[in-house]
Amino acid sequence: SSELTQDPTVSVALGQTVRITCQGDSLRGYYASWYQQKPGQAPVLVMYGRNNRPSGIPDRFSGSSSGNTASLTITGAQAEDEADYYCNSRDSSAYHEVFGGGTKLTVL
């Protein structure tokens, strides 16, 4: 089955732009979806498809994809964006799902 690889930790200065990436073969055929998880809470969908934000997600979040890499960009990071971020896509070989290992975002 496919794997999705994420950087374990990323940091960004308050108000600056940060890109969180996700790499995997499945991303050549499927878009990633992205989830934000704060301590003690369930994950929340923040991005899916080409660049689709669910209702209620601030427009500072955007998504992109190229080749085997998907990216979640936060433009003007806020303190409340500090969280773990997980990418997900369908597995390229079968009707299964795979999650990345997660990226812990620290806002300095």
**Of the candidates 33, 29, 38, 47, which has an alpha carbon nearest to the alpha carbon of residue 91?**
29
Nearer CB in complex with other proteins: 33/107: 33
Taking the complex as a whole, how short is the minimal distance between the CB of residue 34 and other proteins, in angstroms?
A: 9
The C-alpha angle with vertex 82 and arms to 39 and 28, in degrees rounded to 5, equals 95
Nearer CB in complex with other proteins: 25/97: 97
Length of the chain: 108
**Of the candidates 93, 8, 106, 103, which has an alpha carbon nearest to the alpha carbon of residue 46?**
103
Nearer CB in complex with other proteins: 71/88: 88
Binding site residues, other proteins, CB under 8 A:
1, 29-31, 33, 35, 42-45, 48-50, 52, 54, 86, 88-90, 94-102
